[in-house]
Amino acid sequence: MWLSEIFCISGWLVIAFAKDVWWLYIGRLSLGVGVGLITYVVPVYIAEITPKNHRGGFTSAQQLMLSLGFALIYFIGNIIYWRTLSLIVLIPCILQLVGLFFIPESPRWLAKLDREKEFETTLQWLRGMNADISQEAVDIRDTLDLSQHNSKAKFLNLFQRKYAYPIFVGVGLMLLQQFGGTSAVAYYSSSIYVKANFSTIIGTTTAGILQIPASIAGVLLLDISGRRRLLLVSSIGTCISLVLVGLSFLFQELHYLEEITPILTFIGLLGYGVTFAVGMSGIPWVIMSEIFPLDVKASAGSLVTFVNWSGSWIVTYSFSFMLDWSSAGTFFFFAAVCGVTALFIWKWVPETKGRTLEEIQAAITRFPSEVC
């Protein structure tokens, strides 16, 4: 997290004082490294320090903070100069950098390094000074001993048969999340509204604001309804929303009911943003932080993060070409991917609600269906 913030602060400074387009490229590259690091590290850290009954809510709260940030940036980004905006967003980066002085290391990471005294002290502090941590501490140690005995932390170990199921779920969720069009909608929403003859200011600001209650609902429901149910609702909702957007552009291309194209696009994109924020936005990262054993968590995290941001780059780069080819076809393609996502979740994604990380890993090791 320290390293991530250094990259992010450097990137925003380079962008704010850019002299030409190459400065912007360098700044964006630095930001990409920083965001790529923190995207996986933060949910993993939160999952490792929180009790099982509250883990989902705490981990998904990260998405709530992201939605608040998006809403704020969508709002002020429409009224202030981009260089000024780049300096403003340095504030949360600096706040987080300072805040890192006041948080402990993950107790599971301390146990892995055999720093027993720090492990017990940190776990006790996290659970409360009057809490009984003896059984949890034993479970953590036993799981670590077993995983370290069976495997050494090498990247190639990810391709052992015993890790096939969590890797399949992780890579599958990340690919489907991105190829469902999230980066295209996030980065090109203004262009989409322009093409649909709808106000970009109204569209982007409304979308940012509505993501806040949607994310709050996701946080509140995650440890009640479970991961799978919210993911299914989210993927089906995004599918229906993108069908509406595709229909709006189909009417426009056929010169039929063109007067409803703007409103259909607006409703579809709002629906997509809300239903995506409820589940598919943050829950895949929650699941990633839960299903990988500690001995391969870093390697597996690197892999799924690489897959996620590679997918984001492919979709972002190709979207403008796809839109020129067929606006309707582009959104029907994204809708089809969201439909496949619902099937993938129903068949393969495990339910991890109410289980400790050690229980999840033990169940996955014995037989994947035990966590479904």
Q: Where are the domains of the chain?
A: 2-103+151-371, 108-150
Q: State the pLDDT confidence band at 368, using cuts at 50, 70 and 90.
A: low
CA-atom Rg of the chain in angstroms: 22
Q: State the pLDDT confidence band at 267, using cuts at 50, 70 and 90.
A: very high
Provide the pLDDT for residue 371.
53
Dihedrals φ, ψ of 153, to 5°? -75, 80
Dihedral angle over CA of 311, 316, 320, 325, nearest 10: 10
Tens digits of per-residue pLDDT, 4-20? 999 999 999 999 999 99
What is the rounded CA–CA span in Å between residue 211 and residue 270? 9
Please answer whether residues 179 and 309 qualify as being in contact, where contact means their C-beta atoms are separated by less than 8 angstroms.
no
Provide the pLDDT for residue 193.
92
Which range is most confident: 46-50, 137-141, 143-147, 272-276? 272-276
Q: Which SS3 state, helix, strand or coil, does residue 349 take? A: coil
Q: Which of 348, 197, 193, 351 is nearest to 272 (CA)?
A: 193
What is the rounded CA–CA span in Å between residue 58 and residue 40? 14
As a whole number, mean pLDDT of residues 19-29 equals 93
**Does the structure show a pLDDT above 70 at 77?**
yes
What is the rounded CA–CA span in Å between residue 76 and residue 15? 17
CB 362: neighbour CB atoms within 10 A? 18
Query: Could you say which DSSP state residue 20 is in?
Result: S
Tokens encoding 166: 């969590």
Please answer whether residues 11 and 34 qualify as being in contact, where contact means their C-beta atoms are separated by less than 8 angstroms.
yes
Dihedrals φ, ψ of 128, to 5°? 105, 140
Query: Could you say which DSSP state residue 104 is in?
Result: P
Tens digits of per-residue pLDDT, 152-164? 555 666 777 778 8
User: In Å, how far are 50, 55, 64, 74, 177 from 341, measured between CA atoms?
Assistant: 29, 24, 22, 28, 8
Q: Which SS3 state, helix, strand or coil, does residue 1 take? A: coil
Dihedral angle over CA of 107, 108, 111, 112, nearest 10: -140
Helices 283-291 & 357-366 angle (0-180, nearest 10): 70
Q: Which SS3 state, helix, strand or coil, does residue 98 take? A: helix
Provide the pLDDT for residue 159.
73
Tens digits of per-residue pLDDT, 185-232? 988 988 899 999 998 888 887 887 887 888 788 778 877 888 889 999
What is the rounded CA–CA span in Å between residue 15 and residue 8? 11
Start-end of H helices in the chain: 2-16, 21-49, 55-77, 82-88, 90-99, 107-112, 116-127, 134-150, 164-179, 182-195, 200-225, 227-253, 261-275, 283-291, 297-325, 327-348, 357-366
Amino acid at 329: G
What is the rounded CA–CA span in Å between residue 204 and residue 199? 9
Architecture field, domain 2-103+151-371: Up-down Bundle (1.20)
What is the rounded CA–CA span in Å between residue 272 and residue 201? 18
Q: Which SS3 state, helix, strand or coil, does residue 353 take? A: coil
- HSE, side-chain direction, 13 A CA sphere, residue 191: 13
Q: pTM (2 decimals)?
A: 0.74
What is the rounded CA–CA span in Å between residue 196 and residue 204? 13
